[in-house]
């Protein structure tokens, strides 16, 4: 774009006739205005980038009712953190400590939960559909109304969750025991 402006200015300067300037200057100024407007629009319309909280010490942090899509909390210490009502789609909690955390009503669809600790965590009415949680610890977690549809779990953790599973998720309408595949 700069080359075009530079060539146009040199061309206009090479002409000594005022008539040429009168004919082409308005058109050139219109292009400059369009270029500036498009440049500003592309600056304003920058896509939001996911935040990186990897290995952070966030004990007791309040992330409630926030949109945190695709953010990463890999190996973060989130003990006692509050994520209630948050949109956590695609979030990575790989190896994170979420012991005693509150994720009630959170949307964890397609989240990576592998090797995370959800010990004594409140997951009531949370949606975990399609999450990857193969080596995740859910011991003592509150899962009333949680939706575990298509969540990859180890068999032993599935059995532990089935002992306390009950309720229906208010968002998806799915029964917690059914979504876990409990007998």
Give 108's pLDDT tier (boundaries 50, 70, 90): very high
Give 44's pLDDT tier (boundaries 50, 70, 90): low
Which pTM value belongs to this model?
0.74
For 55-80, the pLDDT digits (tens) are 999 999 999 999 999 999 999 999 99
Q: What is the pLDDT of residue 72?
A: 97
Give 87's pLDDT tier (boundaries 50, 70, 90): very high
> In this prediction, what percent of the chain has a pLDDT beyond 70?
73
Burial of 109-130, coded b for 16+ CB within 10 Å and e otherwise, reads bbbbbbbbbbbbbbbbbbbbbb
Average pLDDT rounded to a whole number, residues 130-152: 97
Given a cut of 90, whether residue 165 has pLDDT beyond it is yes
User: How far is CA 148 from each of CA 54, 128, 145, 169, 183, rounded to the nearest angstrom?
Assistant: 25, 5, 10, 10, 15
């Amino acid at each position: 774009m700069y080359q075009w402006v530079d060539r146009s200015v040199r061309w206009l300067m090479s002409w000594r006739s005022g008539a040429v300037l009168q004919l082409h200057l308005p058109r050139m100024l219109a292009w400059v205005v369009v270029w500036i407007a498009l440049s500003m629009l592309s600056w304003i319309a920058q896509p939001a980038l996911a935040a990186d909280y990897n290995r952070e010490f966030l004990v007791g942090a309040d992330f409630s009712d926030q949109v945190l899509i695709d953010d990463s909390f890999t190996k973060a210490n989130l003990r006692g953190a509050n994520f209630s009502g948050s949109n956590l789609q695609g979030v990575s909690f790989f190896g994170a400590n979420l012991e005693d955390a509150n994720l009630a009503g959170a949307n964890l669809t397609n989240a990576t939960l592998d090797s995370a600790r959800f010990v004594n965590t409140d997951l009531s009415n949370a949606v975990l559909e399609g999450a990857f949680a193969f080596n995740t610890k859910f011991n003592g977690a509150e899962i009333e109304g949680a939706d575990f549809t298509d969540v990859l779990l180890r068999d032993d953790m599935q059995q532990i969750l089935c002992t306390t599973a009950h309720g229906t998720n208010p968002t998806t309408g799915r029964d917690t025991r059914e979504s876990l595949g409990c007998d």
